[in-house]
């Protein structure tokens, strides 16, 4: 009986030892990925060494398809990329971004009652 309790006590200590080693290894892996992520953060992006070509933005549509906005010299190229290659969608001379704040300010001046009246008129006048 005494021999059985010694074996179960030693197997309990082995279990604790192996669990602590596993936790330690996972902790080291976590810390090393954090350090490497901070160190190589900028170098993993698509950056050109030259000033002639630059990827401005990339939109992933799914795992195999994406849309790229690339600046080459002074022109912007909208490209689609999939497993078959690159396709040119459009060439832009300049980028113009729409400001949603202006639209929000215009809509702020319209009251809900005015919107409801206009909607009600449209519904009853059309039908």
In tens, the pLDDT along 66-89 reads: 999 999 888 899 999 999 999 999
Q: What is the pLDDT of residues 45-72, one digit of tens each?
A: 555 455 678 888 899 998 889 999 999 8
Domain ranges for the chain, please list them: 1-45, 52-127
User: Is the pTM value of this prediction over 0.75?
Assistant: no
Would the pLDDT of 19 be above 70? yes
Q: How far apart are CA 127 and CA 122, in angstroms?
A: 8
Mean pLDDT of 87-103: 78
Q: What is the CA radius of gyration of the chain?
A: 31
Half-sphere exposure of 103 (CA within 13 A, CB side): 3
Strands (E) located in 61-101: 66-72, 75-82, 85-92
Q: How many residues does the chain have?
A: 127
């Amino acid at each position: 009986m005494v021999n059985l309790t010694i074996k179960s006590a030693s197997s309990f200590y082995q279990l604790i030892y192996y669990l602590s080693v596993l936790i330690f290894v996972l902790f080291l892996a976590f810390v090393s990925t954090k350090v490497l992520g901070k160190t190589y953060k900028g170098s993993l992006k698509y950056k050109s060494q030259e000033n002639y070509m630059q990827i401005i933005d990339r939109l992933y549509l799914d795992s195999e398809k994406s849309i790229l906005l690339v600046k080459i010299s002074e022109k912007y190229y909208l490209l689609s990329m999939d497993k078959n290659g690159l396709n040119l969608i459009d060439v832009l001379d300049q980028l113009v971004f729409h400001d949603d704040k202006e639209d929000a300010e215009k809509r702020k001046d319209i009251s809900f009652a005015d919107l409801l009246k206009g909607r009600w008129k449209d519904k009853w006048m059309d039908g």
